[in-house]
Amino acid sequence: MQMLLNWGIGLSNVFLTPTNLLLLLVGTLLGMIVGALPGLNSPIAMSIMIPLTYGMDPGAALCILAGIYTGSTCGGSVSSILLEVPGTGAAVVTAFDGHQMYKEGKGGLALGISAVSSVVGGIIAAIVLGACAPFVAAQALKFGAPEYLMLSVMGFASVIGMSNGRMSKNIMAMLIGLLISVIGISPQGGIKRFTFGTHALLEGIPLVPMLIGMFGIGAIISTISDMKLGKTASEVVKQTVQRVKMQYPDKEMIKSFLPIWAQSSVIGNVVGAIPGAGMTVAIFMAYDQVKRYRTDLEFGTGVPEGVAAPECANNAVVGSSMIPLLALGVPGNPASSLFLGALLIHGLRTGPKFFVESADVAYTLIAAFFTASIALLPVMHIFVNYMATYVLRLRYEVLNGLILILCVTGAFATGNNDSYIVFAIVFGVIGFVLKKFHIPFGPLVLATVLGSMLESYYIQSMVTLRGNFSGMLQRPICVGLLLLSVFFLLMPLKRFLKKKKGGV
């Protein structure tokens, strides 16, 4: 009963507050525009927007960020279908069949299937978020320092287990993140570590400027160094892309999609709730499962089911990725870590007590994801029918200049400190280098957040257990988290043996 009451409070904060509803719709449209532009994504838009929300009410700030996250995930399918150039990594698989449908004159239908599938996945994920996050948070209230220590270990193990063929680069990214996390004053002895005599580093690297630099400025440097890609995309639009009108699947097609949406939603929600897994894992798993389910179809030739499965899965990840953040304080992916930064700016901290101390804000965010998922259909209809072709023709030189100004201004506004601009620029260069070597940002950001947790809770655990590490085995939750960690660590071995067996 209390949960339904909280849902009502959250929905009323979105629907009955015109400012919040307007910001959510604007954020959804902005996210869709960003998602449709190759090279840009939701973390870039969110990292720019976070400092601008400083003077807003927390509910309003979360509404626009939820809209951007939801809209950009769906918007990536537009350029994926029309150009065969995925707007975001979450739309890579959509191009396999979506662009073939466009070539056959069914581009409007492909976009309609993408929109409807995104709505289904997003709504289910928002409901799962509203049901699971408070429950997980309630269980997490039973956690002590040893349990949080094992939770941190499980977070690192999940990144390795869900590496999807990039285990060495994921481990490298985590090591860099751990190095960043130890900068500042030691929580135990008060020792200055890697501060280089600079007072600005005494409190460590501030999260928001770091994210602004990596995702915003890093993307600008990467785009400038590879401007040929932007010009090529623009030329393709001018030469080949004709304006398309949204067409929606009929009743028979929707009926055939129901089991596909069901299994893709389950995959998206499970993968999204695992820290470090990400959308790429979810979309490939969903696409692989639908291929097994519909063996009568030749995927990659313009099959509608090949669009429905990944688009449902990637939007299911959106809501479920917030479960570990809201309930445990552990970001599931880079986008959710930006929500952590936004909440910190407003003096809020996620974790088990979040649903007790800030229930109105928590359920406003959940309701925002639910509402944004519903809004995807009309917003994408307007975007595709009247704006998509013009947006894809935007010159990247103008976009880069605008994004750079917003990044620098936003980094400074985070703490009204000149050093924050330096942090953003430095991490912009770091982000560019990492991108060139195809080292993922997600594990790095996760390790940066978990690194400080790991150190603090290790010290507290040793005090609690009086230096006896075997005392962990006498705590059921610790044992459960340890077994999950072992399971994740064995997953790469399982994939290797399966691949070796298949090769034989």
Per-residue pLDDT of the chain (504 residues; tens, 9 = 90+): 677 788 888 889 998 889 999 999 999 999 998 888 876 777 878 887 887 787 788 889 999 999 999 999 888 888 888 877 776 767 888 888 998 998 888 989 999 999 999 999 999 999 999 989 888 888 888 888 888 889 888 888 888 877 665 778 888 988 999 999 989 888 777 788 888 878 888 888 888 888 888 888 887 888 777 665 444 444 444 445 567 888 999 999 999 999 999 999 999 998 888 876 667 788 888 888 898 888 888 888 889 999 999 999 999 999 898 998 888 888 877 788 888 888 888 888 888 888 888 888 999 999 999 999 999 999 999 999 888 777 777 776 777 777 788 788 878 877 778 888 999 999 999 989 988 888 888 788 888 888 888 888 888 888 888 888 888 888 888 999 899 889 888 887 777 777 777 654
Q: Distance between CA atoms of 244 and 246, rounded to whole angstroms?
A: 7
pTM: 0.84
How many domains in the chain? 1
Which H, E and C letters describe 256-272, residue by residue?
A: HHHHHHHHHHHHHHHHH
Tens digit of each residue's pLDDT (9 = 90 or more) over 460-500: 888 888 888 888 888 888 999 899 889 888 887 777 777 77
13 assigned to some structural domain: yes
Q: Using CA atoms, how far apart are residues 91 and 80, in angstroms rounded to an integer?
A: 6
- Answer for the pair 155, 348: CB distance below 8 angstroms, yes or no: no
44-80 burial, b for 16+ CB within 10 Å, e for fewer?
bbbbbbbbebeebbbbbbbbbbbbbbbbbbbbbbbbb
Domain assignment present for 105: yes
Cβ-proximal residues to 359 (8 Å cutoff; 6+ apart), any chain: 6, 9
Residue 470 · residue 146 · CB < 8 Å: no
Q: What angle do helix axes 396-415 and 418-436 make, rounded to 10 degrees?
A: 130
In a domain, 265, yes or no: no
3-state secondary structure 380-418: HHHHHHHHHHHHHCCCHHHHHHHHHHHHHHHHHHHHCCH
Q: With beta carbons less than 8 A apart as the criterion, state whether 163 and 156 touch.
A: no
Is 264 a domain residue?
A: no
Name the residue among 348, 411, 373 with its Cα closest to residue 57. Answer: 348
Domain-located, residue 456: yes
Q: Among residues 177, 157, 128, which one has the least CA distance to residue 439?
A: 177
76 domain-assigned: yes
First to last CA, the chain: 57
Cα 271 from chain centre: 12
Burial 379-407 (b: 16+ CB within 10 A, else e): bbbebbeeebbebbebebeebbeebbebb
Kindly provide the b/e burial profile for residues 446-475, where b requires at least 16 CB atoms within 10 angstroms of the residue's own CB.
bbbbbbbbbbbbbbbbbeebeeeeeebeeb
Q: Does residue 104 form part of some domain? A: yes
Contact at 8 Å (CB) between 322 and 369?
Answer: yes
Segments forming the whole domain that contains residue 332: 2-241+272-503
- Beta carbons within 10 angstroms of residue 259's beta carbon: 12
- Residue 184, beta-bridge partner list: 193
User: 440 near 81, Cβ under 8 Å?
Assistant: no
Beta bridge partners of 240: none
58 found inside a domain: yes
Q: Write out pLDDT tens, residues 181-214.
A: 989 888 777 788 888 878 888 888 888 888 888 8
